[in-house]
Amino acid sequence: MIVGLITPYWDSVTTTATITAVIALGLYLSNSAGALSVAHAAIAGMGGYLGAVLTTNFGWHFSIAIFLGGLVGASAGLFLSVITLRMNELVAGLTTLAFGETMVVVTYNIHYVGGASSFYGIPPETTLLIAFCALLAALFLGWGFDRSRLGQSARAVRDNPTAASAMGINVPMTKILVFTLGAFVAGAGGVLRVHYVLVEKPSDLGFFNSLPIVIIWVFGGSYVFYGPVIGAFILTFLPELLRFSSQERYMAYGLLLTAVVILRPTGIVSRVPTGRKPRVVEWLRDRRRRPPLGTEKPETP
């Protein structure tokens, strides 16, 4: 907590929003080549379970747990990307949904990680500063990815896989790489989350925890790496800011989501097409080129 600037309550809300933004950014990376994952809560939960076991039962350092949790997430992402490679978007999404629900059942029956009683006793390692540093690292990764050859290939595959293949892009490998990369980020985010809430439940891996991440991804902007981050902060803070009204805040939340889906199908933040400047930049450029008032040359008849 930053003393004098933020209360413990808002410290908790901000930390939660920051961790959620990391996981949502992982979803952006995984879906950047046109996939539809509804299993990122399960991927984050798998990383969280491993990180919790390493720090609680074996006393491993938190940073090592984050990295290994990310590797577990990447392994799950690699597996999902391979088995869904030849499926269409709808069937692939349902397959990832089934994977997440399967992981819920599996963790319910593993007594070593608490089973139905959940995993308790996790050390409180995640702070707002650590979560913020993790978000900066994830944003830097997303920024570099968007400008890399892999990121450009992923966007081409998402827009038109046939045209991308005709241009020489390895479509299957691109899909596998970006899904695995995003799953690594989500797995690391799961380790951050579990060391903040200090308990991991099998239900944390299920559909009803994956759906809010998908909503954040769509709401913030599914074509821009910082879109899900904006969505995570807005959709985490908004219910808290409207807490003064018990029922109306959920109506306002739903109306906002509906309005964005209808008016901005690509999310609050949309990618500027290649070769086109943002409207503000174009307006400022036109103002700079326009001659001062009264100095215009008369038109030749």
Give the integer Cα–Cα distance in Å for 41 and 208: 9
Token pair of 222 as six digits: 């599914």
pLDDT at 4: 42
Q: What are phi and psi of 119, to 5 degrees?
A: -105, 120
Task: Please say whether the beta carbons of 52 and 193 come within 8 A.
Answer: no
3-state secondary structure 231-242: HHHHHHHHHHHC
Other beta carbons within 10 Å of 67: 16
pLDDT at 286: 67
Give the integer Cα–Cα distance in Å for 67 and 122: 17
Per-residue pLDDT of the chain (301 residues; tens, 9 = 90+): 444 456 888 899 999 999 999 999 999 999 999 888 999 999 999 999 999 999 999 999 999 999 999 999 999 999 999 999 988 888 999 999 999 999 999 999 999 999 989 999 999 999 999 999 999 999 999 999 999 999 999 999 999 999 999 999 999 999 999 999 999 999 999 999 999 999 999 999 999 999 999 999 989 988 899 999 999 999 898 877 777 665 666 677 778 778 877 887 778 887 755 445 555 556 666 666 665 555 555 555 5
Give the integer Cα–Cα distance in Å for 158 and 160: 6
Quote the DSSP letter at residue 200: B
pTM attached to this predicted model: 0.86
Helix (H, G, I), strand (E, B) or coil at 61: coil
> Which residues lie below 8 Å from residue 131, measured CB to CB, with a gap of 6+?
15, 18, 19, 22, 192, 196
Other beta carbons within 10 Å of 102: 13
pLDDT at 3: 42
pLDDT at 258: 81
What is the amino acid identity at position 133?
Answer: C
> Which residues lie below 8 Å from residue 199, measured CB to CB, with a gap of 6+?
118, 119, 120, 122
pLDDT at 95: 94
